[in-house]
Structure 1
Amino acid sequence: MELRGVFTIFWALCLSCLIILVAWKKTNKGGKLPPGPTPIPFLGNLLQVRIHGTFQSLMKLHKKYGSVFTVYLGPRPVVVLCGFETLKEALVDQGDDFSGRGEIASIERNFQGYGVAMANGERWKILRRFSLTILRDFGMGKRSVEERIQEEAGFLVEELRKTKGAPVELTFILSRSVSNVISSIVFGNRFDYEDKEFQHLLWMINQSFIEMSNPWAQAYDMYSGIMQYFPGRHNYLYNLIEDLKDFVAHRVKINEASFDPQNPRDFIDYFLIKMHQEKNNPHTEFNLKNLVLTTLNLFFAGTETVSSTLRYGILLLTKYPEVQAKVYEEINHVIGPHRIPGANDRPKMPYTDAVIHETQRMTNIVPMGVPHIVTRDTHFRGYFLPKGTDVYPLLGSVLQEPKYFRYPDTFYPQHFLDEQGRFKKNEAFVPFSYGKRLCLGESLARMELFIYFTSIIQNFSLHSLVPPDDVDISPQVSGFGNIPPTYQLRVVAR
């Protein structure tokens, strides 16, 4: 067994050297990859790109090599894109060329190219078109999505009242409420906050997001060819996602047992209708694998990203009580103390809107973006990117770009306000990504963030347990995602 391991490592070293050699040769045949630090066999640029701070390392290289450069993550070359103009040129102006989903090896074992988030080619186009249609049309003739959010915000307010101003940690209080919005869409019902299975699901989602940002996962993405044969923490993420898949598959079976195509109840039912319509098509993408994994994509993203942003936003409001006071003043003026906030209030509340946008900019939940690949041989800014080249569009480089944000490292809501205090759009605001791979749930997330923020501040004042100047907003983990720190605060009824 030990001898086999030695041979595995030996051949992996040889293969990585060969890959690097081939990649170097490609730069001299009809084009070239962008410049970057010189890699060394097997390690690639591991000396320059730390797995404990990948985004920060890439931003340092950005200063040296410009807005387009190549790094080797292990034996794999990756083209890195930085800055708004660069991302716009690639993801919008040449959107078809850059529309492929890059492989994330740490979760590829779970998804294997299925599900809307990880799919490519026609599969991705079909699943995205279908999912967007259902998310946009869902609730027509029934309760609207806005009503669902308002209902859950109301449950959250009641849950926060129970704390009676005692110190509280909000991670799962917030995620239970937020998750119930997407749960009502994909599963057709909300969960009781005390439901043990629901609580375990949320814990697994939270742990999965943390593990995806853990250095172990990033090491696996670099060296999956070797690490897949060895035990270790990198297998923990795989097991978590498999358990989440099992839950979704079980919900699909429940829906199938009581399925009525004339009365679809949720996303799963609409997908089942398409499966029945195309059951005689051997090439259909409406199959069980895509149903389970697309539902999981929506459930996961609809739970973790919004709840993490809310946790960060509440932390920022305890650090900047003067901002919290101005938000409350605007809420009191436009909505009052008793009416439930709604989406139509947003245009009348420029300061609150600016605070929410600045919260998203500062929290920078997925700073490296989700990897892309080029779908065909592509010329970009004088360089040649062969079909299948991995591309990292650094969303964080845009959200911190001084050209578009005067104080990029400071919480400054005025980034989104003009001189008259009116809300000002900023084209470099790209927390939901950009171009053809724009987040499916962007409009839902925007509505949730507004209604949740305003409902919380309308009813409570938020107080940190330490002086505001001592509030630490540094992420708990920073990798694929910026994980909010764990903290306690007091939520005091107004």
Structure 2
Amino acid sequence: MLEVLVAFLVCLLILRFLKQPGSNRSYPPGPLRLPIIGSLWRLGIKLRKDTSIKLAKQYGNVYMLWLGPIPVVVLSGYEAVKEALINRSEDFADRPVTPFLKIIGKEMGIVFSNGHTWKQQRKFAMVTMRKLGLGKKGTEHQIEEEAHQLLQAFANAKGHPLDPSIQIRNSVTNVICTVAFGCRFSPEDEQFLELVEAIEDIFGFIGSFSHGLFEVFPWLMKHLPGPQKKALSCVEAVLSFARQEVEKHKEHHADYEPQDFIDLYLLQMQKSKNDPNSTYNEDNLLQCIFQFFIGGLETTSLTLRWGLLLMANLPDIQEKVHKEIEDVLGSSQSFTYQDRKKLNYTNAVIHEIQRSQYVFFIGAPRRCTKDVDMLGFLIPKHAVIVPDLHSVLLDPKQWETPEAFNPNHFLDKDGSFVEKEAFLPFGAGARICPGEQLVRMELFIFFTSLIRAFTLQLPEGVKELNTEPLVGLSLVPRPYKICAVPRSSS
């Protein structure tokens, strides 16, 4: 009798969940929502690169998943993403406040905040980047210095097989350190290495199955041992590193003109101390720095790692890039970011690396600010909105050969570089990546410097490097080695 009663109660529970709003025809379609876990079952324990694209083929370009009790609307393909992020930008301007993101971001800084805090912090960051010389000689010179360090690290291998990931990671991290702290760190500095490893561990956790469990069962996962504990300690390690740098700046703040982000932020804190609407405080400063690393390190370093892998696999394209660099720059020892306008093919190759090997599984999530009717569906207020930027960059309606590496996607019939509306690796609308210009400069200067100085070759006995990524929040190249052979003209 007890077994019959339990079975009856389970059936009632399932029927209750089936009658939730997700089954309403006005809401986007999606996988069956089960009690407690929602539709997490449909994603499986292990994500694949094409998981979201396959779901779109089954349910359409606007579909709904349930992360436990949280509705998640996924937008697939250029038209759906454009409609939400560009045409209806204000309706989807918020960032979701999930249990894990709330713990690590505290609804502060630029990435994890909303409303007045977000607007004020973002505006300050954009203005400050311009003051520091973003797009001008100041920041560009710092990137050139890191490019020189990267070239030296490659040269030290003397043409023998090397794994470029560590050198690239250190150089990209030091660009962010220079912008935030006004200094670079030695690759042997223990605190610097701990900072980099902590950031990588955070990225390794976000998007994992354990992360999904944390968002659904935060009350339980907070008290259980596991990778979530390490991820949270890594967040505190990055914040602690930033806190030490802030204290150093406070000690010498009056000794010189502002040189970096911390200097300018501390100055703004002084100017705004009597403003009751000010959000300029030390907690927001620490979160801004933390989010610079979260937003900037992975994007640039993974794109460069994919770029070198592809150039080693595609020697004809690599040589065409090198020839253009030599023809345009000649014997000039230096070049600038503005030279990209003369290096059409090189610029197209860099863009095609970003398009064909987009480094994130999906785009950064948003949150719906109100009930929205869009493309025939009702998107409920507070629903998490996930723009699948990966699907935009592989949209067959926008790209001639979406699955193939083809620099001609960004060239016209005369060989001139052309921008494409569907090229959205930095997102779009109100939440477009504030560090886009910095990342573009890094990619161009690092990539062009490396191809100019070295021929990237496969190690002896290796016919081709594996292009299947390791899938998590990021799409990471499998470990590989290449030979960076110095060119005779370098």
Kindly indicate whether residue 479 of structure 2 is the aligned counterpart of residue 486 of structure 1: yes
Listed one character per residue, the Cα deviations across residues 111-153 of structure 1 (whole Å, up to 9, x for unaligned) are 121111111111111111110011122139x951111111211
- SS of 2:40's equivalent in the other structure is coil
- SS of 1:101's equivalent in the other structure is coil
- The one-letter code matched in structure 2 to 1:227 is M
Q: Go from structure 1 to structure 2 and tell me whether the alpha carbon gap of 1:294 and 1:347 turns closer, same or farther (over 3 Å shift).
A: same
Listed one character per residue, the Cα deviations across residues 437-466 of structure 1 (whole Å, up to 9, x for unaligned) are 100110111111111111001111111226
User: For residues 196-275 of structure 1, what are the structure 2 equivalents within 5 Å?
Assistant: 196-260=190-254, 263-275=257-269
Cα deviation, residue 319, structure 1: 0.8
- SS of 1:47's equivalent in the other structure is helix
Kindly indicate whether residue 329 of structure 2 is the aligned counterpart of residue 335 of structure 1: yes
Which deviates the most, 426-435 or 38-47?
38-47
Residue correspondences, number:
477
- SS of 1:403's equivalent in the other structure is coil
- The one-letter code matched in structure 2 to 1:244 is V
Q: Could you say which residue in structure 2 is the equivalent of 1:43? A: 37
Q: Go from structure 1 to structure 2 and tell me whether the alpha carbon gap of 1:337 and 1:489 turns closer, same or farther (over 3 Å shift).
A: farther
Q: Could you say what the CA RMSD is over the residues aligned between the two structures, in angstroms? A: 2.4
Q: Could you say which residue in structure 1 is the equivalent of 2:54? A: 60
Q: Could you say which residue in structure 2 is the equivalent of 1:462? A: 456
Q: Could you say which residue in structure 1 is the equivalent of 2:83? A: 89
Partner Cα distance (1:480, 1:492) in 2: 33
Which deviates the most, 90-99 or 177-186?
177-186
2:430 to 433, 436, 455: 436
Listed one character per residue, the Cα deviations across residues 331-383 of structure 1 (whole Å, up to 9, x for unaligned) are 11111255223112101111111110010112211231111101122222232
1:308 to 302, 305, 315: 302
Cα deviation, residue 51, structure 1: 4.0
1:150 to 144, 148, 154: 144
Asked if 2 retains the 8 angstrom alpha-carbon contact of 1:355 and 1:413, the reply is yes
Q: Go from structure 1 to structure 2 and tell me whether the alpha carbon gap of 1:380 and 1:241 turns closer, same or farther (over 3 Å shift).
A: same
Partner Cα distance (2:205, 2:41) in 1: 23
Partner Cα distance (2:422, 2:462) in 1: 29
Cα deviation, residue 207, structure 1: 2.4
Partner Cα distance (2:404, 2:99) in 1: 34
Listed one character per residue, the Cα deviations across residues 141-190 of structure 1 (whole Å, up to 9, x for unaligned) are x9511111112111211221111112211112112112222211110111
Q: Taking structure 1 as the reference length, what is the TM-score of the superposition?
A: 0.91
1:103 to 97, 101, 108: 97
Partner Cα distance (1:123, 1:18) in 2: 42
Cα deviation, residue 422, structure 1: 1.5
Asked if 1 retains the 8 angstrom alpha-carbon contact of 2:179 and 2:261, the reply is yes
Kindly indicate whether residue 366 of structure 2 is the aligned counterpart of residue 372 of structure 1: yes
- The one-letter code matched in structure 2 to 1:269 is D
Asked if 1 retains the 8 angstrom alpha-carbon contact of 2:37 and 2:216, the reply is no
Q: Could you say which residue in structure 1 is the equivalent of 2:120? A: 126
Cα deviation, residue 84, structure 1: 0.8
Cα deviation, residue 389, structure 1: 1.0
Cα deviation, residue 58, structure 1: 2.5
- The one-letter code matched in structure 2 to 1:487 is Y
Which deviates the most, 422-431 or 46-55?
46-55
Percentage of identical aligned residues: 36
Partner Cα distance (2:19, 2:273) in 1: 44
Asked if 2 retains the 8 angstrom alpha-carbon contact of 1:110 and 1:238, the reply is yes
Cα deviation, residue 488, structure 1: 1.3
Q: Could you say which residue in structure 2 is the equivalent of 1:163? A: 157
Partner Cα distance (1:110, 1:261) in 2: 33
2:169 to 160, 175, 181: 175
Q: Could you say which residue in structure 2 is the equivalent of 1:4? A: none
1:299 to 273, 278, 293: 293
Asked if 1 retains the 8 angstrom alpha-carbon contact of 2:465 and 2:480, the reply is no
Partner Cα distance (2:255, 2:117) in 1: 24
Partner Cα distance (2:183, 2:230) in 1: 29
User: For residues 5-44 of structure 1, what are the structure 2 equivalents within 5 Å?
Assistant: 20=17, 23-24=20-21, 27=24, 32-44=26-38
Q: Go from structure 1 to structure 2 and tell me whether the alpha carbon gap of 1:347 and 1:38 turns closer, same or farther (over 3 Å shift).
A: same
Partner Cα distance (1:337, 1:461) in 2: 17
- SS of 1:393's equivalent in the other structure is strand
Partner Cα distance (1:310, 1:436) in 2: 27
Partner Cα distance (2:286, 2:63) in 1: 37
Q: Go from structure 1 to structure 2 and tell me whether the alpha carbon gap of 1:337 and 1:169 turns closer, same or farther (over 3 Å shift).
A: farther
* Structure 1 runs (4+) greater than 6 angstroms displaced: 16-19
Kindly indicate whether residue 410 of structure 2 is the aligned counterpart of residue 416 of structure 1: yes
Q: Could you say which residue in structure 1 is the equivalent of 2:444? A: 450
- The one-letter code matched in structure 1 to 2:347 is D
Kindly indicate whether residue 323 of structure 2 is the aligned counterpart of residue 326 of structure 1: no
Partner Cα distance (2:205, 2:319) in 1: 36
- The one-letter code matched in structure 2 to 1:163 is A
Kindly indicate whether residue 380 of structure 2 is the aligned counterpart of residue 386 of structure 1: yes
1:193 to 181, 187, 196: 187
Q: Could you say which residue in structure 1 is the equivalent of 2:65? A: 71
Listed one character per residue, the Cα deviations across residues 389-409 of structure 1 (whole Å, up to 9, x for unaligned) are 111110001011111112212
Cα deviation, residue 85, structure 1: 1.1
Q: Go from structure 1 to structure 2 and tell me whether the alpha carbon gap of 1:279 and 1:164 turns closer, same or farther (over 3 Å shift).
A: same
- SS of 2:217's equivalent in the other structure is helix
Partner Cα distance (1:368, 1:228) in 2: 26
Q: Which runs of 5+ in 1 are unaligned?
A: 1-12
Partner Cα distance (1:397, 1:275) in 2: 41
Partner Cα distance (1:168, 1:270) in 2: 40
Asked if 1 retains the 8 angstrom alpha-carbon contact of 2:199 and 2:293, the reply is no
Cα deviation, residue 467, structure 1: 5.9
Partner Cα distance (2:461, 2:62) in 1: 42
2:389 to 390, 395, 402: 395
Partner Cα distance (1:364, 1:223) in 2: 30
Q: Go from structure 1 to structure 2 and tell me whether the alpha carbon gap of 1:143 and 1:357 turns closer, same or farther (over 3 Å shift).
A: closer
Partner Cα distance (1:191, 1:411) in 2: 36
